[in-house]
Amino acid sequence: MKRIICTLISTFFVAVGVAQSTNPTPLWPSGAPGALGKEDKDIPTLTAFLPKAESATGAAMIICPGGGYGGLAPHEGEVYAMWLRDHGVTGFVLKYRLGSAGYRHPVMLQDVARAMRTVRANAADWKLDPKRIGVMGSSAGGHLASTLLTHFDAGNRSAEDPIERASSRPDLGILCYPVITLGEGGHAGSRKNLLGENPSPDLVKFLSNELQVTPQTPPCFLFHTAEDNGVPPENSLAFAQALLKNKVPVDLHIYEKGKHGMGLGSRSYEPNNLHPWAQDCLYWLKLHNFVK
């Protein structure tokens, strides 16, 4: 049955390959593990934003919108995907399960890992390079992205489901004003939604991702603003410092101005009115062969 499900997913991908975006596709067509119900909030999905064939680079990005693990901000999901699409990168917006719907860790990590495995396992059908699939996230979505960057696995080679055999390791990461630590200096609301009221110190440490970086952590681009009052810029500084300590390539930008949650600079996609971080990120993506 799982082989049939994977084949159906692949067939769907091929069928929509000429479109500019797809309808949301469940990550687990037969139901997500640990689901608390069958409503929309219980069904993690991916929505693909596809570049034109003549401009496609073969690279892809899993996008985790922010929202404090209590909601999902469209300007940190669909808007990013449209921007990436314009530069030849296929963007996959992830609708992951949330603390506001009663979910706790490790459900969110399961969702983003499954998204990475799904895209990688079906890369040929999407005409993607399975070795050029990144993860991107803002605020709490940045925490989720950084969790995958530091808690990935090689996949289960003996799994019946072909998707579960694929690695969940991203090839690079883009972290936008991310929550990184769950300790002091992090974001209390995100921690509560992710872990509940009284998480154990060991779990807080395990998911304070500045403490989980290793030499195997993928290269990362990070940006923050000095006047961010929602998530202090020390989060990005700590993660970048850990990457440097482990000799992992990193590109860090701390801009003087800008509120938390700024996205590309506005709530809608305005290609001619982007914050400078977008151009800096494109330069970095070119260095890593994600854009032309």
**In DSSP terms, which residues pair with 93 in a beta bridge?**
47, 63
**Max Cα separation, the chain?**
54
Confidence of residue 22 (pLDDT cuts 50, 70, 90): confident
User: What does the pLDDT read at residue 184?
Assistant: 83
Residue 197 makes CB contacts below 8 A (sequence gap 6+) with none
Could you tell me the pTM of the whole model? 0.93
Confidence of residue 267 (pLDDT cuts 50, 70, 90): confident
Report the candidate in 169, 176, 110, 116 with the shortest Cα–Cα distance to residue 140: 176
What would the pLDDT profile of 119-177 be if each residue is shown by its tens digit?
Answer: 999 999 999 999 999 999 999 999 999 999 999 999 999 999 999 999 999 999 999 99
Confidence of residue 19 (pLDDT cuts 50, 70, 90): very low
Whether residue 11 is predicted with pLDDT greater than 90 in this model: the reply is no
The span from the first CA to the last CA of the chain, in angstroms, equals 40
Asked if residue 76 lies in contact with residue 45, where contact means CB atoms within 8 angstroms, the answer is no
Question: Rounded to the nearest 10 degrees, what angle do helices 140-150 and 188-195 cross at?
Answer: 60
User: What does the pLDDT read at residue 266?
Assistant: 87
Asked if residue 167 lies in contact with residue 159, where contact means CB atoms within 8 angstroms, the answer is no
Q: Give domain limits for the chain.
A: 2-287
- On average, the pLDDT of the chain sits at 93
CATH number of the domain located at residue range(s) 2-287 in this protein: 3.40.50.1820
What would the pLDDT profile of 60-82 be if each residue is shown by its tens digit?
Answer: 999 999 999 999 999 999 999 99
Query: Alpha-carbon distance 51 to 127, whole Å?
Result: 11
Residue 148 makes CB contacts below 8 A (sequence gap 6+) with 109, 112, 113, 116, 135, 168, 170, 173
